[in-house]
Amino acid sequence: MKAKLLRALAVVCVLAVPVVTTINTVGAVPSAAQVCKSFTKGGTTFRWSTVGTGFTCASAKSMVAKLSSETFPQKGQKVTLTGGPKKYHCVATTDDTGRATVGACYLGTAAFPKSGFQWLG
């Protein structure tokens, strides 16, 4: 009986570690992430936001305007953008005219960006 109780207690302790770790890291999400005010350029309204602490809405707006203006021969496809901030990975999906109307620039990985911005036009 005592062995079963100790085994059950050990299982509870092992299962509690990931929960406690998750609760402690929830507060680590960058507080500087912002949903920015939409703007219209070339007849397209862009909704965009920042992630992490590398950009504010004001500092990222010019990059969103620049990158979303790039055109590509591929239409409706994923493309790599080369005119973004240094060290950032920038990707987009083109619309029917070849403009990069949906995209993101980020440090780190797409699944776990450390800093960056994204837009939807």
Q: pLDDT tier at 30 (50, 70, 90 boundaries)?
A: very low
In contact, 26 and 87? CB cutoff 8 Å: no
Residue 97, in any domain of the structure: yes
Q: What is the mean pLDDT of residues 101-108?
A: 93
Residue 62, in any domain of the structure: yes
Q: What is the mean pLDDT of residues 58-75?
A: 92
Residue among 108, 104, 11 at smallest CA distance from 63 = 104
Residue 85, in any domain of the structure: yes
Q: Give percent helix, percent strand, percent coil of the chain, each to the nearest 5.
A: 30, 35, 35
pTM confidence score? 0.68
Q: pLDDT tier at 109 (50, 70, 90 boundaries)?
A: confident
- The Cα–Cα gap between 112 and 68 comes to 23
Q: What is the mean pLDDT of residues 58-83?
A: 92
Residue 27, in any domain of the structure: no
Q: Where are the beta strands (DSSP E) in the chain?
A: 34-41, 44-51, 78-80, 89-94, 100-108, 113-120
Structural domain range at position 102:
34-120
Structurally, the chain folds into a number of domains equal to 1
Residue 41, in any domain of the structure: yes
Residue 24, in any domain of the structure: no
Averaged pLDDT score across all residues of the chain: 78
Residue 17, in any domain of the structure: no
Residue 25, in any domain of the structure: no
Residues 6+ apart with CB under 8 A from 32: 50, 52, 53, 56
Q: pLDDT tier at 68 (50, 70, 90 boundaries)?
A: very high
